[in-house]
Amino acid sequence: MNTTSDHSSIGVLGIWITLIVLAALSIAAAYLPIGSWTWIITYPIAAMMALLIMASYMRLRSSTVIVRIFAGAGFFWLLLWFAVTLTDYLTRPHLYLT
C-alpha cells in the first residue's frame, strides 16, 4: 500500500483551515455590488475547494494517472457540454414571454 504521501494529521488540519477560509472568501464575494456577476468569483473559489479536497482527502495526488483521468473526466464532460449548450442560449434572438 503506498503510504508514502500519507500526510500527517497536521496536514488534514491545514487543509481544513484553507477550505474554511476559501468558504468565507466566497461569502464575502457575495456582498460585492456586481449583481448576478458574483458567480465569476464564487464558482472558481468553489472549484479550488473541490480540487483541494480531491487532491488531498481523496488522495488523487498519490494515485496513478488513470485514476486522475477518471476523476477529471466527469467534470471535463460537463464543462464541454455546458459550452456547447451555451452556444444556443447566448445567441437565441427570439422573444421570451414570462
Partner 1 sequence: MMPAMVVEAYPTPGGGAGLFPELITRASSIAGRIDGLLIALTILCVAVSAGIYLVMIYFAARYRRGSTADRSNANAQSHTLEIAWTAITLVFFLVIFFWASNLYTTMQTGAPPEDVLEIYVMGKQWMWKAEHPGGQREINELHVPRGQDIKLLLTSQDVIHSFFVPAFRLKQDAVPGAYTSLWFKPTVTGEYALFCAEYCGTDHSRMRGRVVVMAPEAYERWLHTRESSTSMATRGAKLFRQYGCSGCHVGNSTVHAPVLDGLYGKPVQLQDGTTKVADERYIHDSIVLPQQDIVAGYPRIMPSFKGQISEAELLHLVMYIKSLDYTEGTVP
Partner 2 sequence: MTAITPAAQFDDLEQEHEASRLGMWTFLATEVLFFGVLFAAYAISRLLYPQGFIAASQHSDLMLGGIETAVLLTSSATMAMAARAIRHGRRTQALQMTLVTMALGAAFIVMHLQGYHHHIEEGLFPGVNFTYEGPYRNQVELFYFLYFVMTAFHLLHLIVGLCILAVIAVMTWREWFSPEYYTPVELTALYWDFVDIVWIFLFPSFYLISLA
Partner 3 sequence: MSTVAAQPASYLTAAATVRSWLVTRDHKLIAILFTISITAFFFVGGAAATVIRLELATPAGDLVSSETYNKLFSMHGIIMVWFFLIPSIPATLGNFLLPLMIGARELAFPRINLASWYLYTAGGLFTVATLLLGSVDTGWTFYTPYSSLFTNTSVVLALTAVFVVGFSSILTGLNFIVTVHTMRTPGMTWMRLPLFVWAMYATSIIMVLATPVLSMVLVLVAAERLFGVGVFDPRLGGDPVLFQHLFWFYSHPAVYIMILPAFGVVSEIITCFSRKRIFGYPYMVYAIVAFTSLSFVVWGHHMFVSGESMYASIVFSILSYLVAVPSAIKVFNWTATLYKGSISFEAPMLYALGFVGLFLNGGLTGLFVAAVALDVHLTDTYFVIAHFHYIMVGGSVMAFLGGIHFWWPKVTGRMYSEWIAQASAILMFFGFNLTFFPQYLLGYLGMPRRYHEYLPDYQVLNVLSSAGASILAVAYLMPLFYLTWSLFYGRAAGANPWRATGLEWRSASPPPEHNFEQTPTVDEAPYAYTSEDRQAHSSQARET
Binding positions for partner 2, rule: CB under 8 A: 1, 3, 6, 9, 12-13, 15-16, 19-20, 23, 26-27, 29-36, 38-39, 42-43, 45-46, 49-50, 53-54, 56-59, 63-64, 66-67, 70-71, 73-75, 77-78, 81-82, 85-86, 89-90, 96, 98
- Alpha-carbon distance of 58 to 21, in angstroms, equals 20
Give the CB-side neighbour count of residue 40, counting CA atoms within 13 A. Answer: 6
Q: Which residues contact 12 (CB under 8 A, 6 or more apart)?
A: 56, 57
User: Residue 45: which of partner 3, partner 1, partner 2, none does it interact with, CB under 5 to 8 A by kind?
Assistant: partner 2
